[in-house]
């Protein structure tokens, strides 16, 4: 029996070179900087107060993303309406285009180029939101943190709650200025991706036997997709992508972290109950994944709100894993896993 893996492009693996050897070490990767452990959820009333006080150096950013099968486009929806003064961040284009999977975390030069174009500095107060409430916003929050931004918040409820409160919106591509900006400092755009927080296909193959065999959970792979997609009940929209989920993963749909209104985030107490309800010990090692790496960031955001930073992201997600033939894990030996992993190098 041989474990066959389609060799992805070299750039797929280079994106997380520091993480590709994670499983060789006895410990776990170091968590993100401690600033990620603050509660980065911002209420609308807080943002309004800051804007009314003419607080300097605020960047309000719209990151609209829509679920699979939804024909709407982020840029088009932004032009139709957005919170007054907000900029548009295109999560579908600020990506690593050398990798054949959607919405992959971009290389440093791509992220920095876009940050300069939008004048998003590391030292600004950056407030993210989206058109669903908690979909694209957590992804942008995560990317900014991953690249080293110091003060990033996620607007609770996003555009839906903002509109429900009858706050000001505008259309078009020339947002009104909402905050005075200081001159750029020397480190304004010194963004650098923390690759130690990203794991690749090689790492995922290496941990699946542990996920399947362990009786006492010390490691979790959490999938944020909706249940129908996780269980393979819905066909995947991408050609050549099979339905299903990574063996040993646990399904915690991103919507589980939302209140009944579908756009605001649950309280800390209820977030804890979400993890407990799936028998996940959130103090243990956690890898978040999903379909394309976007909704996985909702799991990461929820963990960070609990003061937890021992998380990683499998950004290739099901788009990458599901494009590979599924091994028969019951017949795969450790030696074959090591051999297969070496073929992904």
Q: What's phi and psi for 73, nearest 5 deg?
A: -110, 140
C-beta separation of 221 from 249 below 8 A: yes
Quote the CA–CA distance of 247 and 258 in Å, as a whole number: 26
Closest CA to 64 of 89, 93, 34, 32: 89
Quote the CA–CA distance of 101 and 87 in Å, as a whole number: 26
Token pair for 243: 């339905």
Number of C-alpha atoms within 13 angstroms, CB side, residue 75?
6
Quote the CA–CA distance of 251 and 229 in Å, as a whole number: 10
Q: Which of 128, 263, 290, 297 is catalytic?
A: 290
C-beta separation of 157 from 44 below 8 A: yes
C-beta separation of 44 from 155 below 8 A: yes
Token pair for 56: 């300097």
Facing residues of 222 across strands?
250, 288
Closest CA to 137 of 83, 72, 56: 83
Running DSSP on this structure, what letter comes out for residue 131? Answer: S
Running DSSP on this structure, what letter comes out for residue 130? Answer: -
Catalytic (active site) residue 290: yes
The length of the chain is 345
Token pair for 67: 């679920």
Taking CA atoms, 16 is separated from 140, 219, 231, 255, 279, in Å, by 19, 20, 28, 28, 29
Residues annotated as catalytic (active site), given as ranges: 290
């Amino acid at each position: 029996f041989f474990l066959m893996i389609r060799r992805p492009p070299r750039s797929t693996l280079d994106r997380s070179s520091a993480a590709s050897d994670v499983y060789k070490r006895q410990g776990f990767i170091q968590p993100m900087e401690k600033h990620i452990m603050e509660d980065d959820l911002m209420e609308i009333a807080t943002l309004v107060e800051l804007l009314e006080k003419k607080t300097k150096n605020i960047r309000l950013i719209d990151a609209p993303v829509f679920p699979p099968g939804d024909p709407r486009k982020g840029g088009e929806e932004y032009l139709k309406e957005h919170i007054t003064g907000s900029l548009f961040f295109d999560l579908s284009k600020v990506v690593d285009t050398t990798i054949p999977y959607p919405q992959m975390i971009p290389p440093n030069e791509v992220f920095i180029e876009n940050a300069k174009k939008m004048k998003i500095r590391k030292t600004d107060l950056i407030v993210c939101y989206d058109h669903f409430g908690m979909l694209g916003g957590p992804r942008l929050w995560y990317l900014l943190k991953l690249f080293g931004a110091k003060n990033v918040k996620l607007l609770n409820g996003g555009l839906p709650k903002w509109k429900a409160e009858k706050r000001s919106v505008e259309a078009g591509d020339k947002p009104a200025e909402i905050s005075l900006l200081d001159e750029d400092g020397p480190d304004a755009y010194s963004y650098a991706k923390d690759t130690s927080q990203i794991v690749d296909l090689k790492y995922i193959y290496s941990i699946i036997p542990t996920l399947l065999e362990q009786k006492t959970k010390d490691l979790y792979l959490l999938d944020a997709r909706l249940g129908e997609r996780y269980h393979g009940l819905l066909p995947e929209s991408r050609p050549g992508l099979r339905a299903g989920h990574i063996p040993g993963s646990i399904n915690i749909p991103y919507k589980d972290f939302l209140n009944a209104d579908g756009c605001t985030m649950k309280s800390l107490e209820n977030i804890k109950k979400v993890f407990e309800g799936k028998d996940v010990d959130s103090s243990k090692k956690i890898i978040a994944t999903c379909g394309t790496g976007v909704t996985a960031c909702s799991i990461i955001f929820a963990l960070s709100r609990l003061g937890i930073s021992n998380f990683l992201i499998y950004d290739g997600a099901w788009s990458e894993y599901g494009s590979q033939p599924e091994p028969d894990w019951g017949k795969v030996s450790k030696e074959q896993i090591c051999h297969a992993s070496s073929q992904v190098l």
